[in-house]
Structure 1
Amino acid sequence: MSITFKGNPASLKGTTLKVGDNAPAITLVGKDLGEVKVGGNSDKIQILSVFPSIDTGVCQIQTKKFMAQYSGCDKCELISVARDLPFAFGRFCAAEGIENAITASDFRGGEFGKAYGLELDGCPLAGLLARAVIVIKDGKIAYQEIVSEITNEPNYDALKAALDNL
């Protein structure tokens, strides 16, 4: 997988998972400091909106667009994932008037980034997470996009099409 940050090469640590792979069950930290579980088996389809930091414009746009499109989906659970501290998520949601967002921080040990092969390396954002969208259904990765240029938004139409086919 070839990715860039502002046109310069970046890399991912570890092995990136693929569609059809089991989605590892990871416990992350929510904005209320409670546990948020991603991956594994779930009653709902999990949409993981993964990005480097909620304190950047593109990550904020991504979060707002996903909230607008999927926060009312009964069969889905939308979870925003980053290495930000939970307080940053809380601050952003409060400032934007977003009350029902599920946010998940990978700041304690980076287990999510390691398990899913999404930890950035070889660029100024090393240690943060790559921009990606992962859909998990029945414990398996049903759809995945790792955005090739970190400063670009994900393909919202491709995600919608994938969800329509699940």
Structure 2
Amino acid sequence: MATVTLKGNEFHTSGQLPEVGQPAPDFSLVAADLSAKTLADFKGQRVILNIFPSVDTDTCAQSVRTFNEKASGLDNTTVLCISRDLPFAQTRFCGAEGLKNVVNLADTRDRNFGKTYGLEFTDGPLEGLLSRVVMVIDENGIVKHAQQVAEIVDEPDYNAALSVL
């Protein structure tokens, strides 16, 4: 279990993030077309997981915009923006913003991603949502970077994540 704050108030996640240097756990998430996407679908690519509570909050929306901008210049790299928002809301947001360099995925079908990756909130006002995390997975499925943002209203360290690519 990890402790995260929301404006200084502590609450907890369901476990610990996968460790750097270890294989990333597989997942099954819902794509915009309602199909299932797994980590295996991105095999051979570098993958940035931009995980957050909801695209309808300012910080979460900014992280999607920032990774969309930075992803446009990255070779063999896919940015997956993951939340428990419905795929329709994710698609609406990216369409309205003109964002085309990220892939939105929803942890809505079996809700196992947040538990498997140890980042689902277990208490507090965001209970049941995903905490703000950025992970980088290499072409072989190995975790190269993992950051759980300690204060949920803060943005992740984009440069730290990109520096391992």
How far did residue 100 of structure 1 move? Answer: 4.3
Q: Which residue of 2 aligns with 1:162?
A: 164
- Equivalenced residues, count: 163
Please state which structure has a larger fraction of its residues in strand: 1
Mapping 1:12-161, distance limit 5 Å:
12-38=13-39, 42-137=43-138, 138-161=140-163
CA RMSD of aligned residues (A): 1.6
Q: TM-score, normalised to structure 2's length? A: 0.92
Flag structure 2 segments of 5+ consecutive residues without an equivalent: none
Name segments (4+ residues, structure 1) moved above 6 Å. Answer: none
Aligned residue number for residue 4 of structure 2: 3
TM-score under structure 1 length normalisation: 0.91
Q: Deviations over 1:3-56 (max 9, x none)?
A: 111210010113432112221111110112122223697110110000000011
Deviations 1:36-80 (A, max 9, x none): 223697110110000000011100000000000013422211110
State which drifts further: 44-53 or 14-23: 14-23
Which residue identity is paired with 1:83?
R
Alpha-carbon separation, structure 1, partners of 2:51 and 2:40: 13
